[in-house]
Chains A and B, each alone.
Chain A
Amino acid sequence: MAINKKIKELQEKREKVLLGGGEQAIEKQKALGKRTARERIMALLDENSFNEYDLFVEHDARDFDMAKKSLPSDGVIIGSGTIYGAPVAIFAQDFTVAGGSLGLMHSRKITKIMDHALEMRIPLIGINDSGGARIQEGVNSLAGYGEIFFRNTISSGVIPQISVILGPCAGGAVYSPALTDFVFVVDKISKMFITGPEVIKTVLGEEISMEDLGGARVHSEITGNAHFFALTEEECFDQIKRLITFIPWNNGQKAMAFEPREPKPEYNINKIVPEDPTLPYDIKDVIRSIVDFSDFFEIMELYAKNIVIGFGRMGGRTTGFVANQPLEMAGVLDVDSSDKAARFIRYCDAFNIPIITLVDLPGYMPGVDQEHAGVIRHGAKLLYAYSEATVPKLTVIIRKAYGGGYIAMSSRHLRADFVFAWPSAEIAVMGPEGAANIIFRKEIMSSDDPNGTRKQKIEEYKEKFANPYVAASRGYVDAVIEPSETRKFLMHSLNVSENKIIQMPEKKHGLPPF
């Protein structure tokens, strides 16, 4: 039959294009410890779930002898598939084809799948592995980037957008990941920067390797551009799949519900927190003692460790956690931790995920470097994010909640729905030492035994104010609870606030202190 001949023709055409940049280029890619674009898609999506589009797209550039060059699929693979049954749209740049460079048709394929993701209200995953703009295509390349950035912005807060950096991502190209919700990087493979080492050397005379300038570690520990760090591509894909289970497909839905499971008994909430508020402990153990199956999925684990953010489930439902970490820098708020937490709170709010805040902090970090780095502006982000969020907001004050830090950490005054405090909570303008030194300065100075008087006044202050009952007497704290009652109170509060509705004044948009 004639149709059989045509089918054979299609099969041949497919085979030719499926090889991408050819065997040599594929070998080169493998030598770098990288998979090909197609292998990556297959590894990430459910088996046999990938539907590819635009396989036969070709560029039509004519300058610089480009007419003679054939670039299979124009260096990018697009399509849709599923992860644990959840539909996702995906693109993967193919470094074996012209270095994954972005030309006009390459960008049109990406924007096509982005439009598709937004219209279908499904998550978008972008795998970046590209040398940058295809210089031969000139301004058309730049136009392509602009069209991508615009769609990233319009889709922001509507569908989850995930960027996976599995190769170089330089110059303008970095701004697409920067506009998305979560950025995944892999050690030694990911490289992101605006200007590379060569330009920096020519212009400024500073020498630095690509890895030290914009490697995976740099972006996970120093810049905060990356949210998830992995040692291998395989580990990275596992992280992405795990994330997908915690987030909804779009802003009109809630995340998938799971079977509720009790926390593991080895996390004993009564034994984690030392009574002395100056001693450290790992706040993640407290989170694990509260969430389903003690399963906590941390985000930005290596950046601004003095605050912990991530997802867990309460009674099977995804919940966002924000918690001060007394183990790192005593859990102070500073420029980076405010920035980190504020963005996460806005993420949860955009995607209908309730927020549980665990409070134990000495306040904001003092210092010239902090003030000059803009701790006023960055610290304000946290106030803005909590105030603006209309998802259920639950707060547990564990020990210290001093000064501005008390207000910022989802206090009643920023419209937390439920505020609980443990008996060990100290809700006050500052720590007893600092407060006594100021309030009783005269008495201490004029005393025959200043040290003795100071100690006595500190004790007096502790007795009177370093507790949860002053705040409870004003209704700023709804209930003082035993640590072992925490999960029960939180689960109940989440059930109660399932249908929470808050009317905000009409506006085009607010002006968060970016």
Chain B
Amino acid sequence: MKINEKFGVLNIDTTLYKTRISSRFSNRIPYKPVDPHLILSFIPGTVLDILVKPGQTVKKGDDLMILDSMKMQNQLKCNIDGKVKSILVSKGDRVSKGMVLIEIE
């Protein structure tokens, strides 16, 4: 323990504790509920084909895109009924995990 060390505060069961806060805790990504309007890449890969166009009406279960990853062709399906608002990637793009690929409205 260093003299005059500045501590953080951790709340456990509404009691506030003066303590060192780990970088893992302070850097954690707060949880966000899944938004069915956003089609995300669930794995890094390459966009092999885009099967819809902006403005197109889509139904739950429709194929939207083929994502090539780990030597597999993955069909990305629509979660809800709606309309394609925008497509944020193009054919041949390499995408990382968790990127927004298509927005549905």
Contacts and interface: CB of A to CB of B under 8 A. Distances in A.
Given A203-B70, A206-B96, A369-B28, A280 B19 contact: yes
Interface in B1-54: 1, 7, 10, 12-22, 25, 28, 31, 43-46
A433 B14 contact: yes
Given A205-B94, A282-B1, A327-B1, A431 B31 contact: no
B10 A329 contact: yes
Chain A interface main SS type: loop
6 contacts: A205-B44, A327-B20, A329-B20, A329-B21, A366-B12, A369-B28
Given A205-B94, A278-B15, A327-B19, 17 more contacts: A204-B45, A204-B70, A278-B16, A278-B18, A280-B1, A280-B19, A305-B22, A306-B22, A327-B1, A327-B20, A328-B20, A329-B10, A329-B21, A332-B12, A362-B13, A363-B13, A369-B28
A491 to B, nearest CB: 27
A502 interface: no
A363 B12 contact: yes
A378 to B, nearest CB: 15
Given A203-B70, A204-B44, A206-B44, A434 B13 contact: yes
B25 A329 contact: yes
A280 B70 contact: no
Nearest to A305: B22
A42 to B, nearest CB: 40
Contacts of B94: 205
Contacts of B13: 362-363, 366, 402, 430-431, 433-434
Contacts of A175: none
Category for how many chain A residues contact B:
20 to 34
Contacts of A363: 12-13
A279 interface: yes
Contacts of B45: 204-205
Contacts of B44: 204-206
Q: Which 8 A-B pairs have the closest CB atoms?
A: A434-B13, A330-B17, A431-B15, A368-B31, A362-B12, A330-B19, A204-B44, A433-B15
Contacts of B15: 278, 362, 431-434
A220 to B, nearest CB: 14
Interface string A328-370: 1111100000000000000000000000000000110111110
Interface residues of B, number: 25
A497 B89 CA distance: 69
Contacts of B17: 278, 280, 326, 330, 362
A155 B20 CA distance: 39
Contacts of A431: 12-15
A205 B96 contact: yes
Interface of B: 1, 7, 10, 12-22, 25, 28, 31, 43-46, 69-70, 94, 96
B12 to A, nearest CB: 4
Nearest to B46: A205
Nearest to A403: B13
B24 to A, nearest CB: 8
A245 interface: no
Interface string A264-283: 00000000000000111110
A34 B31 CA distance: 44
A147 to B, nearest CB: 31
A316 to B, nearest CB: 29
Contacts of A306: 22
Contacts of A206: 44, 96
A104 to B, nearest CB: 31
B14 A434 contact: yes
Given A305-B22, A368-B31, A369-B28, A330 B1 contact: no
A437 interface: yes
A368 B44 CA distance: 24
A328 B1 contact: no
Contacts of B19: 280, 326-331
A334 to B, nearest CB: 9
A502 B44 CA distance: 53
Contacts of A328: 19-20, 22
A278 B14 CA distance: 12
A330 B31 contact: no
A431 B18 CA distance: 15
Contact of B18 (A280, A332, A434): A280
